[in-house]
Amino acid sequence: MESFDFLKSVFANHNLSHWSWTPLQKPLSMDFYKAWIDKSYHGDMAYLKNHIPQKETPQTLLPKAKSAFVFTMDYGLKKNTLPVKNLNIAAYAQDVDYHLWFKDIINKLCADLKSLYPQNEFIGFTDSSPVLERDLAYQAGLGWFGKNTCLIDRKRGSLFFIGEIYSTLAYPQAKSPTPVPDHCGTCDRCIVACPTGAIEPQRVLNATKCISYWTIESKKVPPIELREQFSDLFFGCDICQTVCPWNIKVRDLMSPPAEDPTEDLRMILTSSNKTLLRLFAGTPLSRAGGRGLKRNALIVIGNKKIHALKNVVSAFLHDPELGELAQWTMDKLSDSCKIENKSTP
């Protein structure tokens, strides 16, 4: 049997030191995933349902595929390179979109593997592809499914990206790597800390209650009953990860945003959608689009009671898509004024 130990140095050349390899088979969590879809917990993300055939049978993406290499890349300590510094933005989104640079690394690695094994095929993916990557990473022994539904590693926590390569190269062992045991124990900090109650028992995430879903994926305005729970979270949410004990080392090194987001929010609301797309091109924030970023800004202004932006908010009162939300924000600002006046001697 051929030894593949030398592949460690190949992967290290691409700064992919944390990786594993596993036979490619039907995902272990496929039935769980289908049940999740049947509950409509995926919200408006129709592609998650449409991708079921490719996820259930990986060989539809690469015929004759026999194995998968799985890689993780930390993101918890990346510096904020965005043109806005004072907004509460999920850690993964504070730098260049990983779909660009991570996929580029994986594609280069595919080329290296092809040169080593010219008779075999290799195709790389990130999470924008129809792959149940956390399931695959679990099969490869890179972590366990946490109660917050993230993949968790005892040494590295969960603040990392996952990428994979499907290959027609046969896995050299008779069995898959040994899965990592569950180390969540009785801890339920992530469930308790979720502001909107999006995390249910049995490691189920209801995306239709998730702040990340509403501030990134959805094109709609979130329901009134959820808005106040967003607090100052402008794009995404890290709460269920940052409260996790396995992320404590990374969490303590993460820098919180500055306290006053007023000027950043003003810029977003007064810029055209095209200007915002140009400004955030190549970053995860572009995924929400200009309209989505303005939606998020209005929620933060209402929750943080930023009276200095009242005139800016009022300009959206007759907007066909954001008018109702703008009125909600104005009501929040007015309510806080009434409270302040009552407390004034």
Q: State yes or no: pLDDT of 345 exceeds 70.
A: no
pLDDT tens digits, residue range 242-285? 999 999 877 766 667 778 999 999 999 999 999 999 999 999 99
Band of pLDDT at residue 79, cut at 50, 70 and 90:
confident
Instruction: Outline where the chain has alpha helix (H).
Output: 7-12, 30-38, 46-50, 52-56, 98-116, 133-139, 189-193, 211-212, 224-227, 239-242, 248-251, 262-270, 273-279, 289-304, 310-314, 323-343
Residue 3: its pLDDT value, please?
A: 61
CA 49 to chain centre: 18
Residue 291: its pLDDT value, please?
A: 98
Band of pLDDT at residue 339, cut at 50, 70 and 90:
low
Q: Provide mean pLDDT across the span 164-176.
A: 89
Q: Is 246 strand, coil or helix?
A: helix
- Number of other residues whose CB lies within 10 A of the CB of residue 33: 19
In angstroms, the CA 301 to CA 310 distance is 9
Q: Provide mean pLDDT across the span 303-318.
A: 98
Q: State yes or no: pLDDT of 71 exceeds 50.
A: yes
pLDDT tens digits, residue range 85-124? 999 999 999 999 999 999 999 999 999 999 999 999 999 9
Helix, strand, coil in percent for the chain, rounding step 5: 45, 10, 45
User: Percentage of the chain with pLDDT > 70?
Assistant: 94
Which sequence spans correspond to the domains of the chain?
Answer: 1-258, 260-345
Nearest to 163 by CA among 217, 122, 197, 121: 122
Q: Provide mean pLDDT across the span 3-25.
A: 85
Distances (CA, A) of 37 to 31, 54, 208, 209: 10, 15, 12, 15
Annotated active-site positions, please?
Answer: 127
Residue 36: its pLDDT value, please?
A: 98
Structure tokens at 244: 């996790």
Band of pLDDT at residue 1, cut at 50, 70 and 90:
very low
Contact call for residues 323 and 317 (beta carbons, < 8 A): yes
